[in-house]
Amino acid sequence: MELNTLSEKIRAAVDELTPDLIRCLQELVRIPSVVGNEARAQDYMNSLYQGMGLEVRTVLPDIEALRGHPAFIDTGASYVGRPNLVATLPGDPDKPSLILNGHIDVVSPEPVEAWSRDPWCGEVEGERLYGRGAGDMKAGLLANHYALAALIKAGLRPAGTVRLMSVIDEEAGGAGGTLACLADGHTADAMICSEPHGMNVTVAHAGICMFRVRVVGRTAHGGLAHQGVNAFGKLIPLYQALEALGEHRLATVRYPLFERGSGRACHLSVGTVRAGDWPSTVAGEAVMECRISFPPGETMEQIRELVRRSINQAAQQDPWLAEHPPSVEWFGWQAEPWQQDPEHPFVRTMRRAAREISGQEAPIIGRASGIDSRFAPYFGMAAACTGPVASNIHGIDEYVELPSVAATCKVLALTMAEWCGVRD
């Protein structure tokens, strides 16, 4: 079938389904699904998948079995009562297959009092739908579902197998979500993660390492504070050394795809600082937890050594720290960079579909954050990301732009039709 004929059929079907898509997005945003508490929202997605007659499998993460995988991230979290869903429309095994992947988990909306509305309101104002997870990424998750629904409504059944994934744990690293599903055998020839990437096509993401720096001091009563050594004060030059390292990397590290998609090639940020345990006691320990990102071309071991060297050099400038060296511990997110060849036939199919729907070229970008597409190469799959326009993700008054959700749905449906083929 000609591309423009497919496009016309898909446009008409998505336009007809858009009011229902918006209603479902409101309902889903109103179900809190902060990391660790995704079950009720997954029940909602299961009802949608069942209602379309898909074969739905529940995948419960087997963390011990996954622990040896090179992409595994140990969050230390419990996965009891936290199902993943894989909904399959079987097709011809000789035809290209596709996964449309999205995560149901969202980050905390705190501080709630800073929002101008209830974070779980799902309220529509103009062309924006507000709420935690509206953009990241319940809009994309539902766009996946309605892309397949639109094809079926248009009488165009995909020739190859299509899988819809609603996964947990992406915000914490994805080991219990997408990795668990792929390792359980739910793979395909290609995968799209419909993250809120502003209708761009994302083909790379940063390597990420989280680490904590721990400093010991010497406790003393507040009335005898001169006898103590305040660990918080000793942490300050180490913080300054990391800030200097971040600025140096900003000036010297280049990766155009990240600069185009996220504003700069790499980041180093201090997320938490804790010191002491009583106001009237000189702090005997201080800890800061940090995140550093790095582009393709750099390796995790190189980055770890860079951090260790920066901390050690700063410590040598302080007599106390020279005698009581700070420790550096790596935890949480530990992931190498991911990059997909932008000339791969699948990426070219996506871009052709996006151009047909929007009338203009879809920019190729990278993101200086982590995405579940990083798991695809381990399973021999091509992958890329595209998705709606959203603002304030992980922030206050998060929202998604509704016209972009419908446009995403059309791009996904046309990509599916072109990649998998269709049968009337």
Average pLDDT over residues 256-268: 93
Bond before 32 cis per omega within 30 degrees: no
pLDDT at 76 over 90: no
pLDDT attached to residue 329 = 97
Tokens of 390: 């959203």
Q: Does CATH number 3.40.50.720 belong to domain 3-205+337-423?
A: no
Q: Where are the domains positioned within the chain? A: 3-205+337-423, 207-335
pLDDT tens per residue across span 224-244: 999 999 999 999 999 999 999
Average pLDDT over residues 293-319: 97
Average pLDDT over residues 312-325: 98
Question: Is the Cα torsion angle 362, 1, 416, 342 positive or negative in sign?
Answer: negative
Average pLDDT over residues 184-208: 96
Give the fold, CATH level 3, of 207-335: Alpha-Beta Plaits (3.30.70)
The set of residues, in sequence order, having a beta carbon less than 8 Å from that of 255 and lying 6+ positions away, is: 204, 265, 266, 295, 296, 297, 366
pLDDT tens per residue across span 358-409: 999 999 999 988 899 999 999 999 999 999 999 999 999 999 999 999 999 9
pTM: 0.92
pLDDT tens per residue across span 268-300: 999 999 999 999 999 999 999 999 999 999 999
Letter for the amino acid at 333?
A: W
